[in-house]
Amino acid sequence: MDLRELNAKLRSERSWFRDNTELVAVENITTSDLEGQVRKNGLQSSHVRELMDDIRDQGQVVPITVDEEYVAVDGNHRLEAFRQLMQEEPDGDWDKIRVYQCTFSSEEEKQQYQVKSNKHLPSKANTEDDYVDLVAKKLQKGGFGKITWDNYNDDSTNFDTLTDKVKAHFSYLKMRSDVAKKLVRRAIKSAPGSKFKNHMMNELVKLAGCSSETKWNGTKSRQESNGWWLMTIGNKAHIYPQLAGNALNRKISNDNINNTVVFNCSNLDGMDGMKLDQWRKDRVADVNKINNANKVLKKKLIDEILFSPHKIEKSCKENGFFKVKKKSNRAGDFDASSVPTSGW
């Protein structure tokens, strides 16, 4: 129970507190193991200390919730605060705690109650890690219907479907879609059968500096090295004006510079092999458009395209960077069809 829920009950029924709560000896309240809490890392001693100070100042404001057997469902930090107060101040009036006994129809209902209750003040609100852990555990237990931990990566549509299910599961939190997507993205990170590998941009820059596919051997993105300049792009939205503008500036500043772009698809949510192949073709088309639209210098702004490796299945595994070939046409366009779809 959180403070908002308590106040709502008191507004609707003035005698609710008297009729539905009771003082119970602290020693008679039991707790499940720490994994029973919806917090990934269990109890936090610093928060227990904060609650001890608060209880000394104003007493216990919100009752803890227990089940039929007086096992704490919500309020583990407050219960531990009372236990610590009993040890540190044995002469104080800390041996009894106010409880609200509640009946739950299932473990899932109990878990949802715990999540919803972690909002009372002062409280240790659930962190993003807590929610990620809850989603992963529920997926592992088959709690999201047909989508399971073992088959998640079998269907590229599972990401959107699971995102909707997570939003519905935490409907009382009024969770935004972007937040739900982030939780799902983190929760399924180690699910078996992943078809893709993503990369951090700084990791790609280091790999590019050592790659035989390019003469650039620098250490940072947007750095000139060995007569070449390199920029990493993970999102279509960064092509204009970031890539086009920076490439133009480099050509204006240094007439002899060559520009390389490394494309790394930063959002693989709901992606499958065909969609990734199309994403790469679209990026080649974007570069050709930039190069052919440049009327200022009458030269190509992008001299080299590299694609980072994403596919990790044996049938189409990709290793290292792939350097896109150019067509033999007069315009010297990059050839999207030269990018392999079954590994390199």
pLDDT tens per residue, range 222-258: 999 999 999 999 999 999 989 999 999 999 999 899 9
Mean pLDDT of 266-295: 92
- Banded pLDDT at 28 (limits 50, 70, 90): very high
Identify the pLDDT of residue 324: 98
Q: How far apart (Å, rounded) are the C-alpha atoms in residues 151 and 133?
A: 18
Asked whether the predicted pLDDT for residue 122 surpasses 60, the reply is no
User: What is the DSSP pairing of strand 304-307 with strand 228-233?
Assistant: unpaired
- Banded pLDDT at 123 (limits 50, 70, 90): low
Identify the pLDDT of residue 34: 39
Asked whether the predicted pLDDT for residue 120 surpasses 80, the reply is no
Asked whether the predicted pLDDT for residue 35 surpasses 50, the reply is no
The pTM for the full model equals 0.63
Averaged pLDDT score across all residues of the chain: 88
105-114: per-residue pLDDT in tens? 988 788 778 7
Q: Reading across the β-sheet that carries 322-323, which strands appear in turn?
A: 223-225, 228-233, 258-263, 304-307, 322-323
- 337 vs 192, more confident: 337
Q: How far apart (Å, rounded) are the C-alpha atoms in residues 222 and 122?
A: 47
List the structure tokens of 246: 């920076």
Asked whether the predicted pLDDT for residue 54 surpasses 60, the reply is yes
- The closest of 21, 128, 39, 116 to 76, measured between CA atoms, is 39
Mean pLDDT of 155-179: 89
- Contact assessment for residue 246 and residue 217, using Cβ atoms and an 8 Å cutoff: no
Identify the pLDDT of residue 293: 87
Identify the pLDDT of residue 115: 73
Domains of the chain are: 3-106+116-124 (3.90.1530.10), 129-187 (no CATH), 201-338 (no CATH)
